[in-house]
Chain A
Amino acid sequence: MATLTVREALSQALWEEMEANSKIILLGEEIGVWGGTYAVTRGFHDHFGAERVRDTPISESAIVGAAIGAAMTGLRPVAELMTINFAFSAFDMIVNQAAKLHYMFNGQVNLPLIIRTPSGGGRQLGATHSQTPDAIFAHFPGLRVVAPATPRDSKGMLKQALRQNDPVLFIENATLYQQRGDVPDGDVTVPLDKSVLARAGKDVTLVTYSKMYYATMKAAEQLAAEGIQAEVIDLRCLRPLDMEPVVESVKKTNRAVVVEEGWMSYGVGAEVSARLQSECFDFLDAPVKRVAQAEVPLPYNQRLEQMALPDQEKIVRAAKEVLYV
Chain B
Amino acid sequence: MKSKQDFLSGYRHMVAIRRLEEKSAELYQQGKIGGFLHLYIGQEAVAVGMAAAITKHDHVITAYRDHGVAYSVGMPAKIILAEMLGKATGCSGGKGGSMHLVDPKLNFWGGHAIVGSHLPLAAGIATSLQYQKLDGVVVCMFGDGATNIGYFHEALNLSKVWKLPVVWLCENNSYGMGTAVDRASAVHSMCQKAEGYGMANACVDGMDLEAVYGGVSNAAAHARSGAGPFFLEVQTYRFRGHSMGDPERYRTAEEIKHWQDGDPITALRKAILAKQMGTEAELDALDREVDVEIAAAEQYAEESPEPADAALWQHVFSESPNGRA
Contact = CB atoms under 8 A, between A and B. Distances in A.
A239 B96 CA distance: 23
Contacts of A201: none
Given A54-B162, A106-B95, A108-B102, A69 B120 contact: yes
Interface in B127-173: 127-129, 131-132, 150-151, 154-155, 157-158, 161-162
Interface stretch (B62-70, B103-111, B185-193, B237-245): B103-111
Contact of A65 (B59, B96, B155): B155
A180 B244 CA distance: 60
Interface stretch (A35-43, A73-81, A219-227, A258-266): A73-81
Interface stretch (B37-45, B225-233, B284-292, B312-320): B312-320
A193 interface: yes
Contacts of B157: 57, 59, 62
Nearest to A90: B120
Contact of A93 (B93, B95, B120, B126): B120
Contacts of B119: 65
Contacts of A67: 124
A108 B104 CA distance: 7
B151 A77 contact: no
A57 B128 contact: no
Contacts of B323: 103, 141
A77 B124 contact: yes
Contacts of B122: 69
A107 B319 CA distance: 10
Interface in B79-114: 91-93, 95-96, 100, 102-104, 109-110, 112, 114
Interface in A8-55: 25, 27, 51-52, 54
Given A65-B151, A142-B316, A240-B325, A70 B125 contact: yes
Contacts of B150: 61
Contacts of B92: 104-106, 108
Contacts of A103: 95, 315-316, 323
A312 interface: no
B102 A105 contact: yes
Measured as residues with beta carbon below 8 angstroms from the partner, the interface class of chain B is 35 or more
Given A69-B126, A108-B103, A59 B114 contact: no
Measured as residues with beta carbon below 8 angstroms from the partner, the interface class of chain A is 35 or more
Interface centre among A66, A103, A141 (most CB of B within 10 A): A66
Interface string A159-183: 0000011100000000000000000
Contacts of B151: 61-62, 65
Contact of A56 (B93, B109, B158): B158
B304 interface: no
B161 A102 contact: no
A268 interface: no
Given A69-B126, A103-B95, A193 B315 contact: no
A190 interface: no
A102 B317 contact: yes
B127 A57 contact: no
Contacts of B124: 65-73, 77
Contacts of B126: 69
A69 B125 contact: yes
B117 A62 contact: no
A109 B161 CA distance: 27
B295 interface: no
Contacts of A74: 128, 132
B123 interface: yes
Given A54-B162, A92-B114, A107 B127 contact: no
Contact of A59 (B59, B95, B154): B154
A56 B124 CA distance: 12
A73 B154 contact: no
Contacts of B125: 69-70, 72-73
Interface of B: 59, 91-93, 95-96, 100, 102-104, 109-110, 112, 114, 117, 119-129, 131-132, 150-151, 154-155, 157-158, 161-162, 314-319, 323, 325
17 contacts: A25-B131, A57-B154, A57-B161, A59-B158, A61-B150, A65-B121, A66-B121, A68-B120, A72-B128, A73-B59, A73-B129, A102-B315, A105-B92, A105-B96, A144-B317, A164-B318, A193-B325
Given A65-B117, A108-B92, A109-B109, 10 more contacts: A25-B127, A62-B154, A65-B120, A69-B123, A96-B114, A104-B95, A105-B104, A107-B318, A109-B104, A193-B325
Q: Which 10 A-B pairs have the closest CB atoms?
A: A69-B124, A65-B120, A240-B325, A66-B124, A62-B154, A107-B315, A69-B121, A59-B154, A106-B92, A73-B128
Interface of A: 25, 27, 51-52, 54, 56-57, 59, 61-62, 64-75, 77, 92-93, 96-97, 101-111, 141-142, 144, 164-166, 193, 239-241
